[in-house]
Amino acid sequence: MPLTQVHAIGAASRLENVRYAIRDLACVADEVIKQGHKVLPLNVGDPLNFDFKTPPHIIEAAYKAMRDGKNGYAPSDGIPQALEAIRGEAARKGIASVRDVFVTSGVSETVDLCISALVNDGENILTPKPDYPLYSAVLCKLGIALNTYDLNEDDGWQPELADIQRKITPRTRAIVLINPNNPTGSLCSREMLEQIAELARRHNLVVFSDEIYDKLILDGSPEVPTPHIAFAAVAPDVPCITFGGMSKNYLVPGWRIGWGIASGDAAVIKPYIDGIHRLLRARLCANHPEQYAIKPALEGPQDHLVEVRRKLRSRRDLTQKWCESTPRISCVKPRGAFYAFPRIDIPESDEVFVKELIRQKHVMVVHGSGFGQKPGTQHFRIVFLPDEQTLMKAYAGIAEFIRERYGS
């Protein structure tokens, strides 16, 4: 008789700490949905789930590319017209020392490739706390120990420079900035960027500047927002990879089109860029026809951004007003993207809070511990993409839950 395999096939041990809080809550929501309830989703930052539409000329560009037969493999680093448009975008951002650009399958792949090409066994990179959980997931996948630095809630969620200084070791290779920040909606000041640049120079570090929300600045007006300050524009000599993409600014998260802009001293950064290109070639290419939408997106009409920012400002203001008027809640006012990260004064964990909120009030937010936070503090992340009526209904449910469970 043939032998039968009786032992379970275990996953790699390095995956034990891989978590993705934003989607890991889905199983709790599924329980509630199966009971016949509708869940109000304030957990996933996908504008297309709400009243936002992809600009038609961008869709037409990708559709035309498919019709024209652009459905085979693309060059590993991206098609020439996309690379040219990304270089133009870098110039508009004030990045004067561009050494290379490349297209990826979303910024998620940019992050994975750039970390993989840089960090050896036993080395580390500094990531903010709180941060977008992709970074810790990639680091855990690669078997790289986490080395987090705090963002200061009392200073508008600016990086804590002293904590960064304490955390740099001889084995540290890079610093991650998320600007605008997910999950807090904060923006780095020019002074802070200059101070981080000086640390990078002193310790020979690469800076990964995640600027995927750079056109969704809520300060200023929807028509003339406060200018976003790119790290690489402030520090043209520092080795930097600026992460950007179409997902958020151009409302196509499902297309998975991102890019990296490498800048800094040419001789210093060249060996690292060569390493990135080895990985780009090994994975063949990013989505091909969608790359033909990059140039029309970056160089074509930008009218949709005014309407997007108008909606987001209104919904941010509604969210902030609710936070300020609700017992046990406080919040640093978000300045970019579409997230708020309220602090909550409760006697139990924020993970219990969000799970019970789903079960009892059918409102879905994400626990702050899923992004990292200072010990002794509790937070949750709100995605304020839904229309005002939906947000008001959700916030009424959260306030009622807090009152019933914890008192005022």
- Provide the β-strand partners of residue 244: 259
Task: Indicate the SS3 state at residue 314.
Answer: helix
> What is the per-residue pLDDT across 16-39, written as a single tens digit (0 to 9) for each?
767 666 666 778 888 888 999 998
- CATH fold, domain 13-52+303-406, is Aspartate Aminotransferase, domain 1 (3.90.1150)
- The mean-pLDDT minimum among 28-37, 174-183, 302-311, 323-332 falls in 28-37
Q: Where are the domains of the chain?
A: 13-52+303-406, 56-299
**CA–centroid distance for 260 within its chain:** 14
**Segment 93-125, tens digit of pLDDT:** 999 999 999 999 999 999 999 999 999 999 999
CATH number given to 56-299: 3.40.640.10
Show the DSSP H helices in 181-252 as ranges: 190-203, 231-234
Q: pLDDT at residue 230 above 70? A: yes
Question: What does the chain come to in residues?
Answer: 408
Task: Say yes or no: do domains 13-52+303-406 and 56-299 share a fold.
Answer: no
Q: How confident is the model at residue 295 (pLDDT cuts 50, 70, 90)?
A: very high
Distance CA 314, CA 297 (A): 25
Q: Is the pTM of this model over 0.85?
A: yes
